[in-house]
Structure 1
Amino acid sequence: MATADFDRSEPLPLMGFIAVEVKIHRPAGDPFNEKTWPFPLLREIAPGSTESQIVTSDKYDSDFIDRFVETGKKLADRGCVGLLTSCGFLCNAQPELSARLPIPIATSSLLQLPSVLSLLPVNKSVGVITYNGDNLGQKHLESLGIIHYAPRIQIRGPPADGPLRKLMVGLGPYIHAQVEAELVEVAVGLLKDYPDIGAFVLECTQMPPFAEAIQKAVGNIPVYDVYTMATWFYSGLVRRRPKRWGNIDT
């Protein structure tokens, strides 16, 4: 979906973005960057939402959830038609946030897993590349209601001392080529160990800028991420007749 397809005589509605408190370089492709999206983005930071808390917690406390709900309601009040978040691990909060917010929310690229698995033969698995392979696991699949798919989901992340993890905790600079090489290595290694992988899903919201390189390295296997998830999400939230369809037949 591209906004150029639409008749822009009316402005497109806003997508809301609940950001976590992480101060890093966010290039185009990162969902925090407005240039990433074919729709207008409105951002609000959820106070007290640190990387370590989101990634390492199996269950978020009520204060944490309340802050995300409050932030989401602010975005809804400002006219947003849907909400995104800035960490794939927040799928743990999907059931509660979707129940308490007045507009739809998509917390994680991992929401695509059931659809991606259904597109593949039953003897194929999905490789999930995550920010932290030690902490992403059964609890997240349970929150998504897909624990029964666990045997078909292979999860792996980059090393703790690698450029992506260092970047996220403020111990290293953003060097695109280094992060790309690291993630390509993870993908190639995962496919080597699990040759039945028929698609990849990138959990981390910092990974879309590297999706093309990953896909080329794994032989053009499908690769999905927060960008593919959110553009699909928005395409249902806002239906506009594409210009290329021409005039309505009468």
Structure 2
Amino acid sequence: MQSHASPPLGFLAVQVDIHRPPGDPFNPQTWPFPLLHELIPGSPESQIVSKDPYPPSFLDSAVAAGKKLAERGARGIITSCGFLVLAQKELASRIGIPVATSALIQIPSILAILPPGKVVGVLTYDAERLGAAHLQAVDVDPERIRIRGMSVHGHLRAVIQKGVTYDEVLMGKEMVDGAVALVDECRARGEEIGALVLECTQMPPYAEAIQKRVQVPVYDVYSMGLWFYSGLVRQNPAAWTSFG
């Protein structure tokens, strides 16, 4: 349950008009704290899901939207697409409050807690466009990362690109099958995945089902957002005894 006395988290939204169930970071029901939205103008899927640097005009629009969130009282900002990690350093340096653009920013910490012989798997919306540039944006060595994308002809792509009606069963099956395939591909090469990171912000509703099938730690924008907010707004649990 949200505590509406708590300061809000800011959310930079992109122009992708789809069903967003609880678990999707756009949905206020996802979070145990208030959420404020601002739209980044000129941010369709074709603009955001990119392997190339974002143009200055887009970055300026994102910064302006982020500053609006700060003016409205947001303590920090997350976004609605993991590909925006390409803008992490730019947005963090210009907006003026902490910014966490992508689930991918968790990877350095995940690598630090895994045995050296294990790799991190990344399940992404589009493996052809997610690559070394996105990992380097958060100072990650691609050598320990294994990436798998969702099917070009799958339900997720159809929902986002073609406006097909969202089907929870189809979406869940596609996510779980993708994670299983990634783990199996690595095992076939003699590699062991120590953890999965779900890049796409549509994936968190299925993180539990994914973990039950692949039996490894699973991180996503939800796990990132909880960690991020816990430092922005420290709130001692009621069960803690007070000092003095």
TM normalised by structure 2 equals 0.95
Residue 144 of structure 1: aligned partner: 138
Residue 172 of structure 2: aligned partner: 180
State the alpha-carbon separation in 2 of the partners of residues 87 and 172 from structure 1: 19
State the alpha-carbon separation in 2 of the partners of residues 122 and 183 from structure 1: 27
Higher relative contact order (CA 8 A, sep 6+): 1
Deviates more, 1:164-173 or 1:44-53: 164-173
Q: Which of 169, 194, 197 is matched with 1:198 structurally?
A: 194
Map residues 1-250 of structure 1 onto 2, 5 A cutoff: 11-146=5-140, 149-195=141-187, 196-218=192-214, 220-246=215-241, 248-250=242-244
Q: What is the CA-CA distance between 1:57 and the residue it aligns to? A: 4.4
Q: Are the aligned partners of 1:24 and 1:170 in contact in 2 as well (CA < 8 Å)? A: no
Give CA-to-partner distance per residue, 1:149-188, whole Å, 9 cap, x none: 2111000011111000111113421101101111111111
State the alpha-carbon separation in 2 of the partners of residues 170 and 12 from structure 1: 38
State the alpha-carbon separation in 2 of the partners of residues 184 and 242 from structure 1: 34
Q: Are the aligned partners of 2:13 and 2:80 in contact in 1 as well (CA < 8 Å)? A: yes
State the alpha-carbon separation in 2 of the partners of residues 223 and 183 from structure 1: 12
- Which portions of structure 1, spanning 4 or more consecutive aligned residues, are displaced by more than 6 angstroms? none
What is the percent sequence identity of the aligned residues?
53
Q: Which amino acid aligns with 1:234?
A: Y
Identify unmatched segments of 5+ residues in structure 2: none
TM normalised by structure 1 equals 0.93
Q: Are the aligned partners of 1:129 and 1:156 in contact in 2 as well (CA < 8 Å)? A: yes
Q: Are the aligned partners of 2:51 and 2:133 in contact in 1 as well (CA < 8 Å)? A: no
State the alpha-carbon separation in 2 of the partners of residues 105 and 34 from structure 1: 18
State the alpha-carbon separation in 1 of the partners of residues 95 and 23 from structure 2: 26
